[in-house]
Amino acid sequence: MATIARPTRGVGIRGPNIASADVQLPAVESYEQVDREIIATLGFTKKWFMGLSVSVAAMLIGASAWIYQIYWGLGQAGYEPPVMWGNYIITFVFWVGIGHAGTLISAILFLFRAGFRTSIYRAAEAMTVFAVMTAGLFPIIHIGRPWKFFWLLPYPNWRLLFPNFKSPLVWDVFAISTYLTISTTFLYIGLIPDIAVLRDKETNPTRKRILAVLSLGWRNSDREWRHFAKAYLFLAAFSTPLVLSVHSVVSFDFAMALTPGWHASIFPPYFVAGAIFSGFAMVWTIAIPMRKWFKLEHYITLNHLDATAKVVLFTSLVVGCAYMIEFFIAWYSGVRAEQEFFWNRVFGQWWWAAWIMLLCNMALPMSLWSQKLRRNPTWLFILSLFINLGMWFERFVIVVPSLSHEFEPWQWGGYTPSWIDMSFLIGSFGWFFMWFLLFVKQLPVMAIAELKEIVAPRVKHGHNGGHH
């Protein structure tokens, strides 16, 4: 919050490549307009119900697959030793990655005073929370005895038997659960003033009461705002390294192993970049239709999309660079196992997966060098779908080919996901969108209070609300 974007004098759209720091909303005149237009998005619609029922159905497919799998055993999934990790871990990393954009936008861009965050960060944060909720399920789905997953938590027990803190998986447990807690808190704290707005506009007494409770009796008083601003700043300060740490820790799951293709020190930065990359793609996938259906084009303007496109372009370059470095190191290391593995990954057994990855994550995003395309929502939406696909395959390429082609040639193998795996993939999307759709109709998808910071307040005497 603490004024990240100052109200600027003079109206009229600036040139397209304005510094993102003061992206502004020329079409938004007054506080009342903000309230009106954002609250207007909350009404239920037929389309929404249809979307929700589709998501719930998909979620149920996943749930029943899980019951089936727990009864029969993991053998129902497509695992093919030595490929002991498959679709579940791939999808886990995929969702964790997506879960990064939200906090990046709300925390890091906040610290960097990047103004274009204002109108997208709420949706992105919600996306983060739900993505991490989805991701969190997969390690449990993936383990052989899910009913024993709590053994990974350091809970006091009479044998005082604790998890092995040297294991990257335990780091994961800490990183993911911390991340979920913090991003949820962050989301909620940001929501408090907006819930207060809803409360004050609400007429239905029951809903009013509920909102009153949720808003914790927020009154917009100067004292509240003062501490709020500070708290928000520190939360952002904590979340920033957290975001970077979480995907680094996830990358340790691989980098800490000596498996060829995993055992690489480049993984943490590479994974973080990939996460942001895929996160922004998912933001597009969600925000571009949303701005249209909710008639919020003048809140998420082309300038916003342009700015996010630049982030995507940058992270795409980082990721591409990481791919290249992997190949180089494989050759440079002189480790034959490593070299043969990479050959097999790119030109052998797994060429198709590798090339889908390279096409979607390296080649297509290069289109964003063109300003026309950066400012073309349709293209960005299509591109976002490709990037999501590409990033899923990036994780596939990391997990499967490495395990299928290790040190011991006698144990080289393959992998084909089964119908059970696919049910879980479908289920995960169902689960995610179910939560998101429920969210968008209950709570504002844009930070009302923060938008008001950008909007110029009314003034009596001449000079337009500028501050001293």
Partner 1 sequence: MQGVVAAFHEIDTTCAAIEDLKKKRLGDVTVYSPTIRHELEHAIDAPQSIVRRFTLIGGLLGVSFGYWVAIWSSNYWPLVVGGKAIASWIPYTIIGFEMMVLVGALSTVAGMFINSRIPRLTSTAGYDTRFSGGYFGIFVACDGAKAGQAEELLRQHGAVEVRREA
Partner 2 sequence: MSTEAGTGVKRRDFLKILGATGATTAVVGCSSEKVGKLIPYVVNPDNTVPGVSQYYATTCRECATACGVMAEVREGRPIKLDGNPEHPLSRGAICSTGLSALQGLYNPDRYRSPMVRQGNALTPITWDKAYELLAQKIGEVKSRGQAGSVVFINQHESGTFPGFLDQWLSAQGMPAHLSVDPLAPTATLAANQKAYGAAWPDLDFGAAKLIVSFGADFLDGWGHNVPQQLQWADARAKLEGAPRLVYVGARRSLTGLNADQWIAAKPGSDMAICAALTGQGTMAAASDSSGVSVAVLEALAKAIAEAGSGVMAICGVTTADAVDCGVMVAEINKRAGSVGTTIKPASAHGGYAGLSSYAEVITSMKKMADGSVPLAFVRGANPAHTTPKSAGSFAEAFAKVGFKVSFSSMPDETAQLSDLILPDNHWLESWGDAVSTVGQLGLQQPTLDPVFDTKSTGDVLLELAKKDQAIAASYNVADYRTWYISKYPGGAPAFTTALTKATVSVSPLVTATPRTLSVTAAAPAAGSGDFYVHVFPSPTLGDGRGANKPWLQELPDPVSKIAWQSWVEIHPSTAKKLGVKEGSHLTVETAGGSVTAPAYIYMGVRPDTVAIALGQGHTAYGRFAQNVGVNAFDLVVNGWDASGALALNGSLAKVTVLVDSSPLVTTEGSARQHGRGIGQAMTLAALLGQEAEDDHGHHPIPGMPSQDFRSGLKAPVAADAQGEFADPMSKDKGMYDADHVQKMEKRRWAMTIDLARCTGCSACVTACYSENNIPTVGAPYQGRALSPVKWDENPGANIIKGREMAWIRLERYYEGNENSENEFSSDFDTRFVPMMCQHCGNAPCEPVCPVYATYHSPDGLNVQVYNRCVGTRYCSNNCPYKVRYFNWFGYGEPERRQYAWPDPMHWALNPDVTVRGKGVMEKCTFCVQRIREAEHRARAEGREVKPDEFTVACAQACPSRAIVFGDAADENWTVSKLAYDRRAYHVFEELNTYTAVVYLKKVNYPAPALPAQA
Mark the segment that binds partner 2 (CB under 8 A) among 123-131, 249-257, 296-304, 376-384: 249-257
418 binds, among partner 2, partner 1, none (CB under 5 to 8 A by kind): partner 2
Residues in the chain: 468
DSSP state of 163: -
189 binds, among partner 1, partner 2, none (CB under 5 to 8 A by kind): partner 1
User: Which listed residue (26, 75, 217, 466) binds partner 2 by CB under 8 A?
Assistant: 75
Q: How far apart are CA 69 and CA 48, in angstroms?
A: 32
Distance in angstroms (rounded) separating the CA atoms of residues 232 and 252: 30
Does 18 help bind partner 2 (rule: CB under 8 A)? no
Rounded-to-integer distance, Cα 430 and Cα 413, Å: 32
| Range 209-218, long-range pairs (CB < 8 A, 24+ positions) | 216/192, 218/192, 218/193
Binder of residue 412, out of partner 2, partner 1, none (CB less than 5 to 8 A by kind): partner 2
67, 144, 158, 164: which one contacts partner 1 (CB under 8 A)?
A: 164
Q: How many CA atoms lie within 13 A of 271 on its CB side?
A: 28
Q: Considering the rule CB under 8 A, would residue 57 count as an interface residue with partner 2?
A: no
What is the SS3 assignment for 432?
helix
370 part of the interface to partner 1, by CB under 8 A: no
Question: Could you give the dihedral angle defined by the CA atoms of residues 235, 237, 239 and 245, in that order, rounded to the nearest 10 degrees?
Answer: -150
d(CA 418, CA 266) in angstroms, rounded, equals 32
Cβ-in-10-Å burial (0-12, 13-18, 19+) of 398 comes to buried
Task: Choose among partner 2, partner 1, none what residue 1 binds, the Cβ cut-off being 5 to 8 Å by kind.
Answer: partner 1
Considering only 16, 81, 217, 414, the residue that binds partner 1 (CB under 8 A) is 217
Beta bridge partners of 83: 80
348 makes contact, choosing from partner 2, partner 1, none, with CB < 5 to 8 Å by partner type, with none
Q: Which of residues 221-260 bind partner 1 (CB under 8 A)?
A: 221-231, 234-235, 238-239, 241-242, 245, 249, 252
Given CA atoms 432, 434, 439, 445 in this order, what sign does their dihedral have?
Answer: positive
Sites of contact with partner 1 (CB under 8 A)? 1-3, 6, 30-32, 35, 154, 160-162, 164-166, 170-171, 174-175, 178, 181-182, 185, 189, 192-193, 196-197, 199-201, 212-213, 216-231, 234-235, 238-239, 241-242, 245, 249, 252, 449-450, 452-453, 457-461, 465, 467-468
Sites of contact with partner 2 (CB under 8 A)? 63, 66-68, 70-76, 79-82, 84-85, 139-140, 142-152, 161, 163-164, 166-170, 173, 253, 256-259, 333-337, 340, 403, 406-413, 418-420
